[in-house]
Amino acid sequence: MGASVPISIDIPSVGKQSKLISLGLRKDGTLEVPPGEPGAPAAWFNGSPTPGELGPAVVYGHVNATDGGAGVFARLRSLAKGDTIKITRRDGTVAVFAVDHGEQYSKSAFPTEKVYGNTEDAELRLITCDGYDPKTGEFDDNYVVYARLIR
């Protein structure tokens, strides 16, 4: 598929749909964070390929909302091999991905190259926070879902 900005994501197996906003990097080189309020959308990292293009398109969202409720990616851990993820693109096409697997990583040892590095095929990475520490009120980890384009 050629380049086309993603506008929404649909994950049927967990009943989640979201519009997608386009975010980049902050001045310090970290990802801009989507809004945290209830119902906040997921974001496409605009420094990655568009979904369907060659390489790893990166979409990320919150696991929870500021009110303590579920965020857009609260159920990523429920995804199983073969589940589909549909990304609607501005040109009207839909890139459909199949989940391969998910992995949890410590934020202090996040495998940047594995997640963001070039791939031989069109792939998708969904990223959210994980590993909540009630003592600090922070998430110490990230959860990443790896998926590949099937149509």
Q: Is residue 70 part of a domain?
A: yes
Domains held by the chain: number:
1
Q: Is residue 122 part of a domain?
A: yes
Q: Is residue 16 part of a domain?
A: yes
Q: Is residue 134 part of a domain?
A: yes
d(CA 56, CA 18): 20
Which pLDDT score, from 0 to 100, does residue 75 have? 95
Q: Is residue 141 part of a domain?
A: yes
Which pLDDT score, from 0 to 100, does residue 106 have? 97
Q: Is residue 1 part of a domain?
A: no
Which pLDDT score, from 0 to 100, does residue 65 have? 86
Planar angle of CA 81, 62, 108, nearest 5 degrees: 85
Q: Is residue 31 part of a domain?
A: yes
Which pLDDT score, from 0 to 100, does residue 39 have? 87
Walk along the chain (151 residues) and give the pLDDT tens digit of each residue. 999 999 999 999 999 999 999 999 999 999 999 988 888 999 999 999 999 999 999 999 999 988 888 999 999 999 999 999 999 999 999 999 999 999 999 999 999 999 999 999 999 999 999 998 999 988 999 999 999 999 9
Question: First CA to last CA across the chain, in angstroms?
Answer: 9
Q: What is the maximum span of the chain, computed from C-alpha positions, in angstroms?
A: 46
Placement of tokens 């926070």 in the chain: 129
CATH number of the domain where residue 40 is located: 2.40.260.10
- For 1, residues 6+ apart whose C-beta sits below 8 A from its C-beta are 52, 53, 89, 93, 95, 122, 149
Segments forming the whole domain that contains residue 102:
6-149
Q: Is residue 109 part of a domain?
A: yes
Which pLDDT score, from 0 to 100, does residue 66 have? 81
